[in-house]
Amino acid sequence: MRILYQLLVVLFMMLQGAAGEPLVPGPEYSCLAQNGRCFPGICRRPYYWIGTCYNGFSCCRRYVEV
């Protein structure tokens, strides 16, 4: 039964690889996905803080004037 479980896991990983999907999405792109940039320290003008980057830096986004 244990071998069957391992074979299913390997099959699942192969199917994800064939589909071009990453096995585990990485957190390093979460700041970029929010249109932000990683800065060491705090966010300074014209940026404001929106989160933390994967390396501990601040994820900052630029103010948008409308």
The domains of the chain are located at 25-65
The per-residue pLDDT for range 4-63, each reduced to its tens digit, is 778 777 777 777 766 665 555 555 678 888 899 999 999 999 999 999 998 899 999 999
- The whole-angstrom separation of Cα 23 and Cα 14 is 10
pLDDT for the residue 5: 72
Q: Which two tokens stand for residue 53?
A: 């980057």
pLDDT for the residue 66: 76
pLDDT for the residue 37: 92
Contact 38, 55 (CB under 8 A): yes
pTM of the shown model: 0.54
Q: Which two tokens stand for residue 16?
A: 């994800």
CATH class of 25-65: alpha beta
DSSP code for 45: T
